[in-house]
A and B are shown apart, each in its own frame.
Chain A
């Protein structure tokens, strides 16, 4: 499974490994490669979560951020914030 991404306007994708949990529900996971920093989540598929932060609108993300997806894949859109000239 792949998760399409748009990070600071750059399109890409992340490979997720997909399983079913003990109740048969689909669960996919992987890591998001990022420049560490504060990000705003502009859009995310339903049932997407950062494993460390949950369903955040904004937060500090690491260089290899673990992510989870329980539903259908959809675009994950992030924008880095806190840099000079960017919204804070």
Chain B
């Protein structure tokens, strides 16, 4: 029976459609692992087994994994990560136990624990991005985290497993996964935000340990909308206080169902940009790619920039940049720099989705989402946003406007969808603030808006501000604010600055910061600015934001019987600046300007 079954699998996945030539066959790679698994087990028992091993195992271990890279992340979302990674451990463990190959030495494996810690942490009310993202962290995560904790001797991964729940015997391997000698420890020494460069994913958290954290997930992925990925480049998701607030809507009732194909995979089902009547990125297209071009993290703010213009394959858009700035502790700012290729312009659509309750603000330029014990206040700012038309839809509609109702396990489920559509225009800068809050503890964080010539100033509690450029390009002069900058936005909090997608900042008095040329020679719009600690500013190119912060003090320890390898994100990654630079040099004594009001501005306070 095994011979017969393996022959069928080989014919399909190694002969007719060889997995090494078609690596993005989601189930195919897993099945290649099973062929290798059976071959390894039956080696020396049946003659065909050696052939199975020789054909399947090299493909499996070299592709491991097709869906992620050396940073340990997974492009197809948390749902398929938990299934695929669990299955893949079967061959990895068999190869390890027979002394053949240690696939846990691959960079992906060494870093894999970071993916659930950042993208699928305990307390998540749902998963993120991709099919099957409705699954919560549960026994698959517990098993995988325990296994990775065991292999690398990492107490943080063990804590992360325990924080999800008790060990179960639901997984095939669970009975031997884990190491009771490891004393669990929360991941307090890890930065609270992370950019996974190989898959174009960013997570920003208020903290990693509290299950009622505030979290934003942002995707701009080079893996396109193929297989279990969806057409949601530059989409974001917000969870807070254990609730889903701004969500990726639609259900994966089953693959390619009317609902899945007609709604869930589409761009308009995401918190992403569409245009001219819900046109978006094509589905099932590996080339519908996004690109995360910058990332920065600091105790006062995080920021990331995604470029999704290539994902709109029709060429209708000439700019689809999205910047997300986390003004800590509780406001996210989403800035879209959009432009149409057609001189007559398009109507840009800013989509927002909620699970249960979504109410448009009376002024039409915002909405409030409520779910369980949490709320999310969403406000659009600036002239381009203010001219938009808001609408709400409670049905799941396919591209032709026909209802695409979910079935099977998702039958009867509903969500709410809002769209803010601009008039037809050539370009727009859409600015939105999204403030999560607890319903039982009062109002969301206040954000004051001032619209000025060429920029919008958002002021936050705690004396923080974000200047957002509304002109297509050029230098922003904040006047009495005291800053001149070339970039999409400038965040200020105390003495800390963060320049988003920019190249230069000047302060009153002529002190000036410019970008350093990045190692790959890319400058200008690819440049992100990274701020390290308060009052310290570093400029970097594509490498911005890599590695844990300088203050990570605690390192995994190896215990007897376990391998002492430290994952390279602990072992090899540098912490903080890559050169011994005194970042404070020249910045000591820089103080914030005392006032925010400029005579050129029309200040409006909103709550």
Q: Is the CB of A66 within 8 A of B210?
A: no
B residues less than 8 Å from A51 (CB atoms) = 122, 162-163, 186, 209, 211
The listed residue (A24, A27, A55, A62) touching B166 by CB distance below 8 A is A62
Chain B contact surface mostly: loop
Question: Which residues of A, 25-46, contact B by the 8 Å Cβ criterion?
Answer: 25, 27, 29
The listed residue (B188, B241, B548) touching A27 by CB distance below 8 A is B188
B residues less than 8 Å from A49 (CB atoms) = 210-212
Q: Is the CB of A23 within 8 A of B299?
A: yes
Instruction: Say how far B522's CB is from chain A's closest CB, in angstroms.
Output: 29
B residues less than 8 Å from A25 (CB atoms) = 207
Cβ proximity bits A35-75 to B, threshold 8 Å, 1 near / 0 not:
00000000000000111111100000010001010100000
Q: Is B549 an interface position by the 8 A CB rule?
A: yes
How many angstroms between the C-alpha atoms of A25 and B241 in the bound complex? 19
Q: Is the CB of A66 within 8 A of B552?
A: no
Instruction: Say how far B531's CB is from chain A's closest CB, in angstroms.
Output: 13
Q: Is B282 an interface position by the 8 A CB rule?
A: no
A residues less than 8 Å from B551 (CB atoms) = 22, 24
Contact A29/B186 with A54-B242, A55-B212 known, Cβ cut-off 8 Å: yes
Q: Is A88 an interface position by the 8 A CB rule?
A: no
B residues less than 8 Å from A19 (CB atoms) = 188-189, 554
Interface residues on chain A, number (Cβ under 8 Å): 21
Q: Is B140 an interface position by the 8 A CB rule?
A: no
Contact A52/B212 with A20-B188, A22-B549, A27-B186 known, Cβ cut-off 8 Å: no
Q: Is B190 an interface position by the 8 A CB rule?
A: yes
Q: Is B153 an interface position by the 8 A CB rule?
A: no
Question: Which residues of B, 543-575, contact A by the 8 Å Cβ criterion?
Answer: 548-549, 551-552, 554
How many angstroms between the C-alpha atoms of A27 and B190 in the bound complex? 13
Q: Is B165 an interface position by the 8 A CB rule?
A: yes
Q: Is the CB of B211 within 8 A of A54?
A: yes
How many angstroms between the C-alpha atoms of A27 and B156 in the bound complex? 14
How many angstroms between the C-alpha atoms of A68 and B162 in the bound complex? 13
Contact A21/B123 with A27-B186, A51-B163 known, Cβ cut-off 8 Å: no
Instruction: Say how far B533's CB is from chain A's closest CB, in angstroms.
Output: 10
Instruction: Say how far A56's CB is from chain B's closest CB, in angstroms.
Output: 10
Q: Is the CB of B210 within 8 A of A54?
A: yes
Cβ proximity bits B499-525 to A, threshold 8 Å, 1 near / 0 not:
000000000000000000000000000
| Selected A-B contacts with CB under 8 Å, 22 pairs | A17-B185, A19-B188, A20-B188, A21-B207, A21-B209, A22-B192, A22-B551, A27-B186, A29-B185, A29-B209, A51-B162, A51-B186, A51-B209, A52-B163, A52-B164, A54-B123, A54-B212, A55-B212, A62-B166, A66-B184, A68-B209, A70-B210
Given contacts A21-B192, A22-B549, A24-B551, 6 further A-B contacts (CB under 8 A): A21-B188, A22-B189, A49-B210, A50-B211, A54-B211, A54-B242
> Chain B interface (Cβ within 8 Å of chain A)?
122-123, 159, 162-166, 184-186, 188-192, 207, 209-212, 241-242, 299, 548-549, 551-552, 554
Which 8 pairs show the lowest CB-CB distances between chains A and B? A21-B188, A54-B212, A51-B163, A23-B299, A54-B211, A27-B188, A19-B188, A22-B549
